[in-house]
Protein backbone atom coordinates (compact mmCIF):
# COMPACT_ATOMS: atom_id res chain seq x y z
CA UNK A 1 0.00 0.00 0.00
CA UNK A 2 1.53 3.30 -1.09
CA UNK A 3 0.47 5.06 2.14
CA UNK A 4 2.88 2.87 4.08
CA UNK A 5 5.91 4.53 2.47
CA UNK A 6 6.99 8.17 2.62
CA UNK A 7 8.82 7.89 -0.70
CA UNK A 8 8.16 5.60 -3.63
CA UNK A 9 6.81 5.17 -7.13
CA UNK A 10 3.20 4.61 -8.08
CA UNK A 11 2.32 2.59 -11.19
CA UNK A 12 -0.37 3.88 -13.55
CA UNK A 13 0.25 1.21 -16.17
CA UNK A 14 1.68 3.43 -18.90
CA UNK A 15 3.90 5.38 -16.52
CA UNK A 16 5.50 5.16 -13.09
CA UNK A 17 5.48 8.30 -10.98
CA UNK A 18 7.84 9.30 -8.19
CA UNK A 19 6.05 10.48 -5.06
CA UNK A 20 6.50 11.73 -1.52
CA UNK A 21 3.77 11.14 1.07
CA UNK A 22 3.33 13.08 4.32
CA UNK A 23 0.93 11.46 6.75
CA UNK A 24 -1.89 13.67 8.13
CA UNK A 25 -1.54 15.13 11.60
CA UNK A 26 -5.31 15.29 12.08
CA UNK A 27 -8.05 12.85 10.96
CA UNK A 28 -10.80 13.67 8.45
CA UNK A 29 -8.81 16.41 6.74
CA UNK A 30 -8.52 16.59 2.94
CA UNK A 31 -5.30 15.42 1.31
CA UNK A 32 -3.29 18.17 -0.37
CA UNK A 33 -1.97 17.09 -3.78
CA UNK A 34 1.00 19.16 -5.00
CA UNK A 35 1.55 19.67 -8.76
CA UNK A 36 4.92 21.13 -9.70
CA UNK A 37 5.98 23.77 -12.22
CA UNK A 38 7.19 23.17 -15.78
CA UNK A 39 10.77 22.43 -14.68
CA UNK A 40 9.90 20.94 -11.30
CA UNK A 41 9.65 17.57 -9.60
CA UNK A 42 9.08 16.30 -6.07
CA UNK A 43 12.35 17.83 -4.89
CA UNK A 44 11.61 21.33 -6.19
CA UNK A 45 9.17 21.89 -3.31
CA UNK A 46 11.92 21.31 -0.70
CA UNK A 47 10.33 21.47 2.78
CA UNK A 48 7.35 23.64 1.85
CA UNK A 49 4.84 20.72 1.81
CA UNK A 50 6.11 19.67 5.26
CA UNK A 51 5.31 23.13 6.58
CA UNK A 52 1.88 23.07 4.92
CA UNK A 53 1.18 19.66 6.45
CA UNK A 54 2.07 20.95 9.89
CA UNK A 55 0.02 24.15 9.50
CA UNK A 56 -3.11 22.42 8.16
CA UNK A 57 -2.99 18.98 9.75
CA UNK A 58 -3.52 17.50 6.28
CA UNK A 59 -1.74 14.68 4.56
CA UNK A 60 0.24 15.76 1.52
CA UNK A 61 0.90 13.83 -1.70
CA UNK A 62 3.67 15.31 -3.85
CA UNK A 63 4.54 13.72 -7.18
CA UNK A 64 6.69 14.16 -10.28
CA UNK A 65 4.88 14.00 -13.59
CA UNK A 66 6.20 11.68 -16.29
CA UNK A 67 9.34 13.15 -17.83
CA UNK A 68 10.46 14.72 -14.55
CA UNK A 69 12.52 13.72 -11.53
CA UNK A 70 12.63 9.97 -11.01
CA UNK A 71 9.38 9.32 -12.92
CA UNK A 72 9.14 7.56 -16.29
CA UNK A 73 10.58 9.47 -19.27
CA UNK A 74 8.41 10.83 -22.07
CA UNK A 75 9.09 11.39 -25.75
CA UNK A 76 9.97 14.90 -26.91
CA UNK A 77 8.85 17.10 -28.47
CA UNK A 78 5.78 17.08 -26.27
CA UNK A 79 2.41 17.71 -27.89
CA UNK A 80 1.15 21.24 -27.30
CA UNK A 81 -1.79 19.72 -25.43
CA UNK A 82 0.48 18.11 -22.81
CA UNK A 83 -1.14 20.01 -19.90
CA UNK A 84 -4.62 19.04 -21.11
CA UNK A 85 -3.47 15.41 -21.17
CA UNK A 86 -2.20 15.68 -17.60
CA UNK A 87 -5.38 17.30 -16.28
CA UNK A 88 -7.95 15.28 -18.23
CA UNK A 89 -6.31 11.84 -18.36
CA UNK A 90 -3.35 11.33 -16.02
CA UNK A 91 -4.54 13.19 -12.91
CA UNK A 92 -7.97 11.47 -12.84
CA UNK A 93 -6.27 8.07 -13.06
CA UNK A 94 -3.77 9.03 -10.38
CA UNK A 95 -6.46 10.22 -7.96
CA UNK A 96 -8.49 7.06 -8.60
CA UNK A 97 -5.43 4.92 -7.89
CA UNK A 98 -4.70 6.85 -4.68
CA UNK A 99 -8.30 6.29 -3.50
CA UNK A 100 -8.40 9.51 -1.49
CA UNK A 101 -11.69 10.78 -0.14
CA UNK A 102 -11.28 14.56 -0.21
CA UNK A 103 -8.55 16.42 -2.09
CA UNK A 104 -7.29 19.99 -2.44
CA UNK A 105 -5.05 20.58 -5.45
CA UNK A 106 -2.06 22.88 -4.94
CA UNK A 107 -0.42 23.67 -8.27
CA UNK A 108 2.43 25.96 -9.29
CA UNK A 109 2.71 27.42 -12.81
CA UNK A 110 2.15 24.49 -15.23
CA UNK A 111 0.89 22.50 -12.24
CA UNK A 112 -1.62 25.23 -11.48
CA UNK A 113 -2.87 25.15 -15.06
CA UNK A 114 -3.24 21.36 -14.91
CA UNK A 115 -5.20 21.72 -11.67
CA UNK A 116 -7.65 24.14 -13.31
CA UNK A 117 -8.06 21.89 -16.35
CA UNK A 118 -8.82 18.95 -14.08
CA UNK A 119 -11.27 20.87 -11.87
CA UNK A 120 -13.19 22.26 -14.84
CA UNK A 121 -12.81 19.51 -17.41
CA UNK A 122 -13.60 16.35 -15.44
CA UNK A 123 -16.18 15.39 -12.82
CA UNK A 124 -13.39 15.76 -10.21
CA UNK A 125 -15.63 14.24 -7.52
CA UNK A 126 -13.06 14.35 -4.74
CA UNK A 127 -11.66 17.86 -5.35
CA UNK A 128 -12.83 20.28 -2.66
CA UNK A 129 -10.76 23.28 -3.74
CA UNK A 130 -7.83 24.46 -5.85
CA UNK A 131 -4.89 26.64 -4.83
CA UNK A 132 -3.02 28.03 -7.84
CA UNK A 133 0.42 29.61 -7.51
CA UNK A 134 1.24 31.79 -10.54
CA UNK A 135 -1.21 30.00 -12.87
CA UNK A 136 -1.40 30.31 -16.66
CA UNK A 137 -4.76 30.25 -18.44
CA UNK A 138 -3.39 31.70 -21.67
CA UNK A 139 -0.02 32.43 -23.23
CA UNK A 140 1.35 35.95 -23.37
CA UNK A 141 4.52 37.62 -24.59
CA UNK A 142 5.98 38.20 -21.10
CA UNK A 143 5.95 34.43 -20.58
CA UNK A 144 7.49 33.62 -23.95
CA UNK A 145 10.27 36.18 -23.39
CA UNK A 146 11.20 34.59 -20.05
CA UNK A 147 11.15 31.10 -21.60
CA UNK A 148 13.47 32.31 -24.38
CA UNK A 149 15.84 33.51 -21.65
CA UNK A 150 15.64 30.08 -19.98
CA UNK A 151 16.64 28.43 -23.28
CA UNK A 152 19.73 30.64 -23.51
CA UNK A 153 20.62 29.86 -19.90
CA UNK A 154 20.23 26.11 -20.45
CA UNK A 155 22.55 26.24 -23.45
CA UNK A 156 25.20 28.58 -22.06
CA UNK A 157 25.27 28.43 -18.23
CA UNK A 158 25.26 25.80 -15.47
CA UNK A 159 21.45 25.60 -15.53
CA UNK A 160 21.51 22.12 -17.09
CA UNK A 161 23.87 20.83 -14.40
CA UNK A 162 21.70 22.30 -11.65
CA UNK A 163 18.54 20.80 -13.12
CA UNK A 164 20.27 17.43 -13.52
CA UNK A 165 20.50 17.22 -9.72
CA UNK A 166 16.69 17.30 -9.67
CA UNK A 167 15.89 15.25 -12.77
CA UNK A 168 18.86 12.93 -13.33
CA UNK A 169 18.54 11.18 -16.70
CA UNK A 170 15.28 13.04 -17.32
CA UNK A 171 16.96 16.45 -17.41
CA UNK A 172 16.86 17.00 -21.19
CA UNK A 173 13.41 15.46 -21.42
CA UNK A 174 12.17 17.80 -18.67
CA UNK A 175 13.70 20.96 -20.10
CA UNK A 176 13.10 20.53 -23.82
CA UNK A 177 9.65 19.05 -23.34
CA UNK A 178 8.64 22.22 -21.49
CA UNK A 179 10.71 24.79 -23.38
CA UNK A 180 9.98 23.44 -26.83
CA UNK A 181 6.23 23.45 -26.32
CA UNK A 182 6.06 26.98 -24.91
CA UNK A 183 8.28 28.39 -27.68
CA UNK A 184 6.36 26.71 -30.50
CA UNK A 185 4.68 29.53 -32.51
CA UNK A 186 1.35 27.69 -32.33
CA UNK A 187 1.51 27.76 -28.53
CA UNK A 188 0.74 31.48 -28.58
CA UNK A 189 -2.86 30.33 -29.15
CA UNK A 190 -2.82 28.00 -26.11
CA UNK A 191 -5.74 28.81 -23.83
CA UNK A 192 -7.66 26.98 -21.12
CA UNK A 193 -10.32 29.58 -20.26
CA UNK A 194 -12.98 27.21 -21.58
CA UNK A 195 -12.56 25.12 -18.41
CA UNK A 196 -13.09 27.99 -15.96
CA UNK A 197 -16.92 28.32 -15.99
CA UNK A 198 -17.39 24.66 -15.01
CA UNK A 199 -15.15 24.91 -11.95
CA UNK A 200 -17.58 24.79 -9.02
CA UNK A 201 -15.17 24.59 -6.08
CA UNK A 202 -13.38 27.51 -4.39
CA UNK A 203 -10.19 28.69 -6.08
CA UNK A 204 -7.36 30.70 -4.58
CA UNK A 205 -4.90 32.44 -6.90
CA UNK A 206 -1.57 33.53 -5.39
CA UNK A 207 0.61 35.62 -7.69
CA UNK A 208 3.60 37.94 -7.30
CA UNK A 209 3.34 41.44 -8.62
CA UNK A 210 6.79 41.00 -10.18
CA UNK A 211 5.95 37.65 -11.83
CA UNK A 212 8.23 37.42 -14.87
CA UNK A 213 6.07 34.72 -16.52
CA UNK A 214 2.60 36.22 -16.29
CA UNK A 215 0.64 39.45 -15.87
CA UNK A 216 -2.66 40.44 -14.31
CA UNK A 217 -4.58 39.05 -17.30
CA UNK A 218 -4.13 35.57 -15.82
CA UNK A 219 -5.80 36.12 -12.45
CA UNK A 220 -8.28 38.63 -13.88
CA UNK A 221 -9.54 35.94 -16.25
CA UNK A 222 -9.84 33.32 -13.48
CA UNK A 223 -11.66 35.76 -11.20
CA UNK A 224 -14.08 36.81 -13.95
CA UNK A 225 -14.82 33.42 -15.51
CA UNK A 226 -14.54 30.69 -12.86
CA UNK A 227 -17.84 29.12 -11.86
CA UNK A 228 -17.01 29.04 -8.14
CA UNK A 229 -15.71 31.61 -5.66
CA UNK A 230 -12.25 32.99 -6.40
CA UNK A 231 -9.86 34.76 -4.03
CA UNK A 232 -6.81 36.50 -5.49
CA UNK A 233 -3.80 37.09 -3.24
CA UNK A 234 -1.28 39.50 -4.75
CA UNK A 235 2.18 39.65 -3.21
CA UNK A 236 4.71 42.47 -3.35
CA UNK A 237 8.41 41.71 -3.79
CA UNK A 238 7.45 38.39 -5.33
CA UNK A 239 8.24 36.83 -8.68
CA UNK A 240 7.05 33.57 -10.28
CA UNK A 241 7.51 31.31 -7.23
CA UNK A 242 5.41 32.78 -4.41
CA UNK A 243 6.09 29.86 -2.06
CA UNK A 244 9.83 30.59 -2.34
CA UNK A 245 9.75 34.39 -2.37
CA UNK A 246 7.04 34.84 0.29
CA UNK A 247 6.81 31.43 2.03
CA UNK A 248 5.22 32.54 5.30
CA UNK A 249 2.52 34.60 3.58
CA UNK A 250 1.73 31.79 1.16
CA UNK A 251 1.69 29.24 3.97
CA UNK A 252 -0.79 31.35 5.95
CA UNK A 253 -3.01 31.84 2.89
CA UNK A 254 -3.13 28.11 2.13
CA UNK A 255 -3.87 27.25 5.76
CA UNK A 256 -6.72 29.76 5.80
CA UNK A 257 -8.11 28.43 2.51
CA UNK A 258 -8.05 24.82 3.69
CA UNK A 259 -9.55 25.72 7.06
CA UNK A 260 -12.44 27.52 5.37
CA UNK A 261 -13.29 24.37 3.39
Q: Which helix (H) or strand (E) holds 155?
A: helix 141-156
1-17 pLDDT tens trace: 788 889 999 999 999 99
Dist. CA 222–CA 205, nearest whole Å: 8
Average pLDDT of span 143-164: 98
> Binning pLDDT at 50, 70 and 90, where does residue 94 land?
very high
Q: Domain coordinates of the chain in residue numbers? A: 2-260
HSE-up of residue 209 (Cα within 13 Å, Cβ side): 4
202-255 pLDDT tens trace: 999 999 999 999 999 999 999 999 999 999 999 999 999 999 999 999 999 999
Does residue 258 surpass a pLDDT of 90? yes
pLDDT in the model for residue 140: 97
Does residue 119 surpass a pLDDT of 90? yes
Dist. CA 178–CA 154, nearest whole Å: 12
pLDDT in the model for residue 5: 86
Average pLDDT of span 51-74: 98
- The percent of residues above 70 in pLDDT, for the chain, comes to 100
Does residue 30 surpass a pLDDT of 80? yes
pLDDT in the model for residue 102: 97
pLDDT in the model for residue 253: 98
pLDDT in the model for residue 2: 84
Dist. CA 6–CA 256, nearest whole Å: 26
Average pLDDT of span 93-115: 97
- The percent of residues above 90 in pLDDT, for the chain, comes to 98
40-49 pLDDT tens trace: 999 999 999 9
Q: What is the largest CA-CA distance in the chain?
A: 49
**Angle CA(48)–CA(51)–CA(57) in degrees, nearest 5?**
130
Closest-CA residue to 133 (of 46, 24, 249, 227): 249
Does residue 24 surpass a pLDDT of 90? yes
pLDDT in the model for residue 78: 97
Mean pLDDT, the chain, integer: 97
2-260 CATH, one of 3.40.50.1820, 3.40.50.970, 3.30.1340.30, 3.40.640.10: 3.40.50.1820
Dist. CA 194–CA 5, nearest whole Å: 38
Average pLDDT of span 157-166: 98
Amino acid sequence: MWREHQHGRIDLGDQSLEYKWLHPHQPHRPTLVFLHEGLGAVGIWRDFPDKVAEATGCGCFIYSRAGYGKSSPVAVPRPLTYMHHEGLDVLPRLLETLDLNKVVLIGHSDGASISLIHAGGTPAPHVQGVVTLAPHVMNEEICVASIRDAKKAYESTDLRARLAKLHGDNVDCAFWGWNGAWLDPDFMHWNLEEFLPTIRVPVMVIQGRQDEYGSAVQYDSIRAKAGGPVEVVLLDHCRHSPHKDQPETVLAAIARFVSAL
